[in-house]
Structures are given as structure tokens and as C-alpha cells.
A = this chain, B = another copy of it.
Amino acid sequence: MNSIEKLIAAEKKNNSILCVGLDIVAEKMPDKLERSIEGMLEFNKAIIESTSDLVSSYKINFAFYEQYGKRGYELLENTIAMIPSDIHIIADAKRGDIGNTSAAYAKAVFEELKCDSITVSPYMGKDSVSPFLDYSDKMVFLLCLTSNSGSNDFEKEKIGDKYLYEVVLEKSMNWGGTDNLGYVVGATHPEELKNIRDLANDRYFLIPGIGAQGGSPDEVMDANGSGPSIINSSRGIIYAGGNEDKYADFIRLAALELRNQLNEARI
């Protein structure tokens, strides 16, 4: 089963298009957990155990692991090992470099870490993306329109009558197929999401920005229509337990509610 088949199977099995982002920060964990690599692994374990029947995928933002150095790398490996094998794993690493370098990044993420997909920055063009697509059983999510305020700086610059993010989309679509090339489109831009969905109705969109970043589930689902998608929430779910003793119950409840809300809003 390749990575997109795995994603679709998990969606069906769990009746969910929800992705939980494992973006842990030691200082934000419930007080009862130790501020250590072991404590963070325990936190990830609790998140995964309480949500793995409610999601299609987990998104692992590499920065949050890399900041802890070598021990962070171990935490990354051990976290990936805890994710059930039928759930899609997204390496949110935003890599991209000249060809031989991107090939090495692809090897790191797909072979060493056994992730199913990776987020890639388009700035350097086709030969910086292709080495990831050469792993045709894996998936690439190319940055299109991101959820942050800085998306106004370059992504929304006009090239003729098109925005840069539209040019990225249109130019890159034939670099990969519907089964291995999708796009990152932020939940904070529902109008643009609708437009991008019209331009690429059969592509998987990884949609971050729900919750802490301000994206509304209903608006997003309305704009996305029936297009294939992965809706990510990180902080809104993993910190839902605050300092409660039974924090995992609150995490599960937050994931369950968002999954259901997304399903109800799906067209």
C-alpha cells in the first residue's frame, strides 16, 4: 500500500480527515509531565493513544524536535515508532534545495524516518522538488498559500494577473500526479482556498491554520467543498487538557469534536 492509499484507508476507517500536529513544546505540556525528552515522549504517547482512531494522519513539525539536538532526533524517531502503521505520517519539514541536496533530504525523511509525505518549499523550482517526487510511492505537499501573515509578502505578489501562489500551483501540477503531489493551503484564507480548489479539484490539500492560528472549520470546509484534504490542528488539540490530571481525555474530546465538526461541514 503506497502513502496515498494508506491515507485514504485511514480516512475511511476513522471516518476522519483530521490531522493532529505533534508540535510539542516542553513548557506548554501539562504540569504533571516532566520537562524532559522522556516527558515529551510520554506526552506524545498520550496524544497518539487518545486520538489514533480519530485521525487520518499525524503531522510532525521537525523544528520542534530539532531544537532539542540529538536527543530531539531520538524523540522524533521514537514518536514515529509509536504511530500505528495504518496512519499516514507527514514530515512537516519544509525542505527544498538543489537536486543532489533535495535527494539527500528525501532519503532522510522517506528512508531513514519512514514518513509517508513531506512538505516542500517551491522557491527554488522544479529540480528542488523532483527528488522528493522520485519516491513515487510517497507524497509531497508543496507550499502554495501558507497560513501566516507573511504569506502577503511574496506568495500574494502579482505575476501578470495571477498571484505567485497560483503560478506555483499551475506550473507545478504536472511535476507529479494526483497520487503523489498535493499542496499546502492555509485555513486562514477561505476565499483563496476556494479559488485554489477550483484550480486543482483533484489534489490533496494539507490545510493547517485551524484553531490557534484563527482558521474556522466551517469556513474552511465550505471553501474546500468535497476536495481531498487533510485538516491539521496542533495547539488547539494537544494542549486542550491544560493542566488537568486526565489531560488525555480532554485531548481526545477536542479531536473528536473537531473531527465531527469537519464531517458535518463537509459538502
Contacts and interface: CB of A to CB of B under 8 A. Distances in A.
Given A63-B105, A74-B70, A159-B158, A149 B121 contact: no
A185 to B, nearest CB: 13
Contact of A68 (B66, B112, B121): B112
Interface stretch (A92-100, A215-223, A240-248): A92-100
Nearest to A128: B150
Given A104-B64, A108-B63, A112-B67, A126 B150 contact: yes
A146 B94 contact: no
A154 B167 contact: yes
A211 to B, nearest CB: 13
A123 B186 CA distance: 14
Given A98-B146, A146-B98, A123 B125 contact: no
B155 A164 contact: no
A265 interface: no
Interface of A: 23, 25, 61, 63-64, 66-70, 72-74, 77, 92, 94-99, 101-102, 104-105, 107-108, 111-113, 121-129, 143, 146-155, 157-160, 164, 167-168, 171, 213
* Integer count of this chain's copies in the complex: 2
A209 to B, nearest CB: 9
Contacts of A104: 25, 61, 63-64, 66-67
A113 B72 CA distance: 13
A70 B68 CA distance: 13
Contacts of A108: 63, 66-69, 72
A164 B153 contact: no
Given A63-B108, A154-B164, A157-B159, A69 B113 contact: yes
B155 A112 contact: no
Given A123-B123, A124-B150, A157-B167, 15 more contacts: A25-B104, A66-B104, A67-B111, A70-B70, A70-B74, A94-B121, A121-B121, A121-B124, A122-B123, A122-B153, A124-B143, A127-B150, A153-B171, A154-B168, A158-B160
